[in-house]
Amino acid sequence: MQLFIDESGDLGGVKSGKRYFVVAGVICEEEEVSHTLKPLLQEFDLPELKFNRLSYDEKKLALLKLATLDFSIAYSVLSKNDETLKE
């Protein structure tokens, strides 16, 4: 099993302009994912799968192929408006 973690946003305080900080993790069998992911990366000519770089049709194709895989997802969303986070 492999764990892949990514984040979005930042914890830069009120000046950052981002309201949320998100951390997500995917647990999967690396070999199984590799057989699906590598051809997608080649097709989209990308070093990594970044959905903000894909067209709507490419996103649909990627999600259809990734949906066939066995994986688990965990995530945490932190709101910068939360007083505990501000401390």
pTM: 0.63
Q: Report CA-CA distances (Å) from 19 to 35, 52, 62.
A: 36, 19, 28
Contact yes or no for 20/77 (Cβ under 8 A): yes
Tens digits of residue pLDDT in 67-86: 888 889 999 998 877 666 55
**Helical segments of the chain, H only:** 30-44, 56-66, 83-86
Q: Which phi and psi (to 5°) does residue 74 adopt? A: -135, 145
Tens digits of residue pLDDT in 13-24: 566 777 788 999
User: Of the ranges 15-19, 42-46, 59-63, 82-86, which one carries the lowest mean pLDDT score?
Assistant: 82-86
Please give the Cα distance from 54 to 83 (Å, whole number). 36
Cβ atoms < 10 Å from Cβ of 18: 13
Joined tokens for residue 72: 């688990």
